[in-house]
Structure 1
């Protein structure tokens, strides 16, 4: 149970107040950028897959017997969703052959802001997954938010760089 709690709260980030989801996302973005620097997109993608699998494993075990499985201290879902959003600009830089240390702030800041927007706003599939409830819904709404945030980040980059004008 201790390992599940550590994972679900992302080693205590979920215990930070106020807004533990935002704190979890901030910790996730910092660690995600570090992972990108160390191993570029392939390592970030692998880490995203691993944390997602760990989340689907840990959340039901940690919340077993709890009335509400979508507790505010659970932020592993934010980590998975935030890293998914970060994979989009990370892939772009990797695909263009840029060094892993060349990951300028607009890409990861946009991924963070769009992720928080979709995670809080909960449009369409994000809200549907959230309303599903249960431990599966805890993870899925943030993964949908991460997917939408990643797409929005790439669209914003395209507009910013003049590709979509």
Structure 2
């Protein structure tokens, strides 16, 4: 069970770039979650992915020298869903179809992957912890950074460019 969770239903075994595959799987799963329960269900999903991911990652890495094996992608799922939250709430609050905000989906994906790979500041700090919490936290922080960029880009587009 822990391997199923940690690899997000084995998406982490796809090659190359399992983290990118995990993020893509997160996008695919986010869409029906949002259709079924809106942004609040996505928030619940983030909390579950984080909690279950922390537990599963701890067990999967317990007897390993590698604290962050590439096949563990539940952290990417939690982070990617955080990056999508501004889009989810924006669509819901403005009664706009999720598909109408496709540029936001692309930005959330690209910027989350950028921050997850680049690991600036606190993302790198969390990654260097060398434990299950660090595995989860670096992607949570990368997701927060990506969400901030999504909000800034939406503000730029809707507030400045569309004036």
The bucket for the TM-score relative to the shorter chain is over 0.9
Quickly say closer, same or farther: Cα 1:99–1:162, change in 2 above 3 A: closer
Between the two proteins, the alignment pairs up a number of residues equal to 162
- The runs of 5 or more residues in structure 2 that have no matched partner are none
C-alpha distance in structure 2 between counterparts of 1:42 and 1:163, whole Å? 29
Q: How does 1:75-114 map to 2 (within 5 A)?
A: 75-96=73-94, 98=95, 101=98, 103-114=100-111
C-alpha distance in structure 1 between counterparts of 2:107 and 2:34, whole Å? 16
2:54 is matched with which residue: 53, 56, 68?
56
1:134 aligned onto 2:142: no
C-alpha distance in structure 2 between counterparts of 1:76 and 1:102, whole Å? 25
Shift of 1:52: 0.9
Aligned CA-pair RMSD: 1.6
Shift of 1:162: 2.5
Q: Which runs of 4+ in 1 moved over 4 A?
A: 99-103
Shift of 1:158: 0.9
C-alpha distance in structure 2 between counterparts of 1:163 and 1:54, whole Å? 41
1:158 aligned onto 2:147: no
